[in-house]
Amino acid sequence: MPAIIPPQFNELAVPPRLLLGPGPANVAPRVQAAAIAPLLGHLDPVYLGVMNDIQAGLRYVFQTANRTTFSVPGTGSAGMEAALCSLIESGDKVVVGICGYFGNRLVEVAERCGAEVIKVEGEWGRPLDPDELRRACAQHRPKLLAAVHAETSTGVLQPVPPLAAAAHDHGALLLLDTVTSLGGCAVCLDEWGVDAAYSGSQKCLGALPGLSPLSFSDRAVTTVRQRKQPVQSYYLDVPLLERYWLPEHMYHHTAPITLTYALREALRVVIDEGLEARWARHRRVSDAFRAGIGGMGLGLLVPEEHHLPQLTTVLIPEGIDDAMVRKALLSDWNIEVGGGLGPFRGKLWRVGLMGASCTPANALVLLDALGQILRRLGAKVDAGAGQEAALAVLAQRGPLS
C-alpha cells in the first residue's frame, strides 16, 4: 500500500486574462490550436520538417542569413545562458552594458561562465552611451560586448549599430538580448553587424513560453569551435544543439514538441502580417497608449525618442499603492500588468502591448480601467481626456483594427 495519501485535484479552471504585462502575451487562436496537434517523436521526419520551417521563419524575423539559427528549449534566460556559456571561456574579458535589470542578469550569467566582466553602467530609463562602451572596449580588448536591445525593466530601446562599431573596432563580438524586441520592432542582425542574439517565444513573436530563439553568425560559430575547453553546459552547448537542428539531426535532447508546433504557427502569423506591418502596428498602438496616459495626467519614464513600442513604463501617481491597482486590474477587469523592478519597484507599471495583445481595443480598455481605478483611489486623473488623446492618435493612422 502507498504510504502517502494521494492529493485531490479539482478540474483545472483557468480564467481568461488579458495579458498586458512584460510577458507572456496572449496568443492567437491558431497558435493555441497548433499546440494541441498530435504528438510526434523528436526525430520523426514530419517533426524534422517542422524544425526546418522554424529555422527559416527565425531567419526572417532576425533578418539574417545565419546558418546557425534555431530555438533553444527554455525561456529567454536559457538563450542568454546558451550564448554566453558557448562563447565565453574562463578568464575571457566581457564588457556588459547595464541600464536596467536584464543588463545585470547578463553580468551574473557571464561571471558564472568564468568571465572577467567589465561593467559599463548607465542611467536606468535611458539608453547606454556608445562612447563609454567604445572606451571600455579600447581599454580592455574584450572577447565580447553584450547589451540588451529592449530593456524590459525600463522600456528603453537601445540603438544597436553604434554598439556593433564599438565592439568590432576593437576585435570583440557583439551579443544582443532581443527577448522583448524580436517581432515587435526592427531587429536586423546582418545589417547591424550583430554576431549573436537570443530572444523569447512568449512576447512579440506571439508563441507560448518555453523556447528561446538563437542566432550565431559565422564569426561567432568560429569562435566557439576554437575553444580550448568544452562548453561548460552540455544541454546549452550551441555546437551540440546545432548538430540536432541542422541536416545531421543528431540526437541531443527530447525536444518540447508541442511548443515548437506553436512557434511554427506563430512565425506563420508573423509572415502573414509582414514584419514592417507588424512593427508599425506595435508603434501605432504604443503611441496611442502613451498619448492616452499623458492625456489622463500620468507620467512616463522614458522620453519619446528612446521608448520601446511594445513595453511602456507608466509612473505611479504620488500616494497610489502599486499592488492595490494591479490587484484591482486583475480582480475587476481580468487584466494583468507588470510592476517595477529594482529601483523602480513600487514606482511604475510595466505595460506590454505585444503580439496578439497589441490592439487598439486593448490599449483603450486598459486606459479605461486605469482611469476608473485611479479615480476610485483618489488620484486626480482625467480618464475621458486620456481616451480622447488615444483615439486622436489612432484616427491619424487610419481605421481601427
- How many residues does this entry show for the chain? 401
Reported as a single tens digit per residue, the pLDDT across 329-368 is: 999 999 999 999 999 999 999 999 999 999 999 999 999 9
Give the residues across from 72 on adjacent strands.
212
| Alpha carbon distance 105, 88 (integer Å) | 16
Cell readout for 183 is 517581432
Q: What percent of the chain has pLDDT over 70?
A: 99
Task: Answer whether residue 2 shows pLDDT above 90.
Answer: no
Q: What is the mean pLDDT of residues 238-256?
A: 93
Cell readout for 10 is 479539482
DSSP per residue, 212-271: EEEEE-HHHHHHHHT-SS--S-STT-HHHHHHHHSTT----S---HHHHHHHHHHHHHHH
| Alpha carbon distance 372, 387 (integer Å) | 12
Residue extent(s) of CATH 3.40.640.10 domains in the chain: 35-272
pLDDT at 199: 98
Q: In 274-356, which ranges are continuous DSSP H helix?
A: 275-296, 322-333
Read off the DSSP letter of residue 320. -
Which strand (E) or helix (H) includes residue 193? none
Task: Answer whether residue 400 shows pLDDT above 60.
Answer: no
Reported as a single tens digit per residue, the pLDDT across 15-25 is: 999 999 999 99
Task: Answer whether residue 62 shows pLDDT above 90.
Answer: yes
Contact at 8 Å (CB) between 161 and 130? no
Q: Is 394 exposed, middle or buried (CB count within 10 Å of its CB: 0-12, 13-18, 19+)?
A: buried
Q: In 113-151, which ranges are continuous DSSP H helix?
A: 130-140
Domain topology for 35-272: Aspartate Aminotransferase; domain 2 (3.40.640)
Give the residues across from 68 on adjacent strands.
216
Q: What is the mean pLDDT of residues 133-159?
A: 98
Read off the DSSP letter of residue 180. T
Reported as a single tens digit per residue, the pLDDT across 102-130 is: 999 999 999 999 999 999 999 999 999 99
Cell readout for 213 is 530563439
pLDDT at 399: 57
| Alpha carbon distance 145, 161 (integer Å) | 13
Contact at 8 Å (CB) between 227 and 76? no
Give the residues across from 308 on adjacent strands.
311
Q: Does domain 274-396 have CATH number 3.90.1150.10?
A: yes
pLDDT at 398: 62
Residue extent(s) of CATH 3.90.1150.10 domains in the chain: 274-396
| Alpha carbon distance 143, 115 (integer Å) | 10
Phi, psi torsion values for 237, nearest 5 degrees: -75, 110
Cell readout for 144 is 565580447
Which strand (E) or helix (H) includes residue 15? none
Contact at 8 Å (CB) between 152 and 22? yes
Torsion sign (Cα): 262, 350, 78, 127:
positive
CB atoms within 10 A of CB 9: 6
Could you write out the three-class secondary structure of 36-99?
A: CCCCCCCCCHHHHHHHHHHHHHHHHHHCCCCCEEEEEECCHHHHHHHHHHHHCCCCCEEEEEEC
| Alpha carbon distance 156, 325 (integer Å) | 24
Q: How far is CA 209 from the centre of its chain?
A: 11
Q: What is the mean pLDDT of residues 72-81?
A: 97
Whole-number average pLDDT of the chain: 96
189: left (phi over 0), alpha (psi -120 to 50) or beta: alpha
Give the residues across from 151 on adjacent strands.
156
| Alpha carbon distance 88, 286 (integer Å) | 37
